[in-house]
């Protein structure tokens, strides 16, 4: 009986060794065919799609196989994400993942058919898109401290706009309310353009938006930037202090773009993809494309991004719960 068990054990070890050798060989030759890159938003609709397409083209050159963009929009990006979750974990189906889908979605949607942490493998965080807190010039404040002091004298009378309930601009305003201890009324719009129009017209007093979208209006005196929302000052607006340095320690809001694969994708394949993304991001033409879209290179390794994603999910879950936000 012991001899049989020993034979079975040796057979198992031999089989595992063959699997490991096959696994290593597969990773070394990857990719051998085109890669499907799911962008869960309409074509040409946003910086997410534009940067995703630029990345796909550059990865095609580096990997030696075509990276084919497949736009699968709907349900705030969750339709595209679910396609990737259900794909074979072989590195041939990837997802352009953003914070609204992966970090905020689990809290604002009560019945997601997948778990971003359990069902997806982080490949890299690619870029971040810094935000700014913009106010109408009629508000008597020149910085975030003055705005908070003023808002505390006007409880429930100030309004902040957003591009829709449950999105990053909305939750940016809710996080500001919580951390500053102020009371503002949320006014959701169907998109960023009308939200910005009503801020410029003075119908609302505050809007958290991508910093490059606000800069032209700030330079023209039509609105005032009182704080950048990231921990470090934005490269495109270095003169705008951060909320973090101005008294709201830890205030950190930005959109980000990542690359994800199905869970259990072999680690050597994930590493191959990450190395290719690093090479692409460091190319001057790619960096120029990133900056042109109001984004900043912000690479994180698979391990770093995995930790960051969990922290982002936990952070936004608290904000969503406090604000009682639900979109389904």
Q: Which residue has the higher pLDDT, 31 or 236?
A: 31
Instruction: Tell me what pLDDT residue 21 has.
Output: 46
Ramachandran region, residue 252 (left: φ > 0; alpha: ψ -120 to 50; beta: rest):
beta
Q: Encoding tokens for residue 252? A: 């950190």
What's the whole-model pTM score? 0.87
Question: What backbone phi and psi angles, to 5 degrees, belong to 242?
Answer: -85, 155
Statement: residue 20 has pLDDT above 50: no
Residue range 50-68, pLDDT digits in tens: 999 999 999 999 999 999 9
**Which domains are seen in the chain, by residue range?**
10-127+257-323 (3.40.190.150), 130-228 (3.40.190.10)
**pLDDT more than 90, % of the chain:** 85
């Amino acid at each position: 009986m012991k001899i049989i068990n020993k034979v079975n054990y040796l057979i198992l070890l031999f089989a595992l060794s063959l699997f490991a050798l096959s696994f290593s060989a597969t990773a070394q030759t990857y990719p051998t065919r085109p890669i499907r890159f799911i962008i869960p938003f309409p074509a040409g609709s946003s910086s997410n799609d534009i940067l995703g397409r630029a990345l796909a083209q550059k990865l095609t050159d580096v990997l030696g196989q075509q990276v084919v963009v497949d736009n699968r929009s709907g349900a705030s990006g969750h339709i595209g994400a679910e396609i990737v979750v259900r794909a074979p974990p072989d590195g041939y189906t990837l997802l352009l993942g953003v914070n609204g889908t992966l970090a905020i979605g689990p809290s604002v949607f009560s019945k997601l058919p997948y778990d971003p942490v359990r069902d997806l493998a982080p490949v890299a965080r690619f870029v971040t898109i810094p935000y700014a807190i913009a106010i109408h010039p009629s508000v008597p404040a020149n910085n975030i401290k003055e705005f908070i002091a003023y808002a505390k004298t006007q409880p429930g009378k100030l309004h902040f706009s957003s591009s829709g309930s449950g999105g990053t601009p909305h939750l940016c305003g809710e996080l500001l309310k919580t951390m500053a201890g102020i009371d503002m009324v949320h006014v959701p719009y169907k998109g960023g353009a009308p939200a910005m129009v009503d801020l410029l017209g003075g119908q609302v007093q505050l809007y958290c938006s991508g910093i490059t979208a606000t800069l032209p209006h700030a330079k023209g005196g039509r609105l005032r930037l009182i704080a950048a929302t990231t921990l470090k000052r934005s490269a495109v607006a270095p003169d705008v202090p951060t909320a973090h340095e101005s008294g709201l320690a830890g205030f950190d809001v930005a959109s980000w773009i990542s690359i994800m694969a199905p869970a259990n994708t072999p680690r050597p394949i994930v590493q191959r993809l990450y190395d290719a993304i690093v090479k692409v991001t460091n190319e001057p033409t790619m960096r120029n494309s990133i900056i042109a879209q109001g984004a900043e290179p912000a690479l994180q390794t698979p391990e770093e991004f995995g930790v960051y994603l969990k922290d982002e999910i936990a952070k936004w879950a608290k904000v969503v719960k406090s604000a009682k936000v639900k979109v389904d």
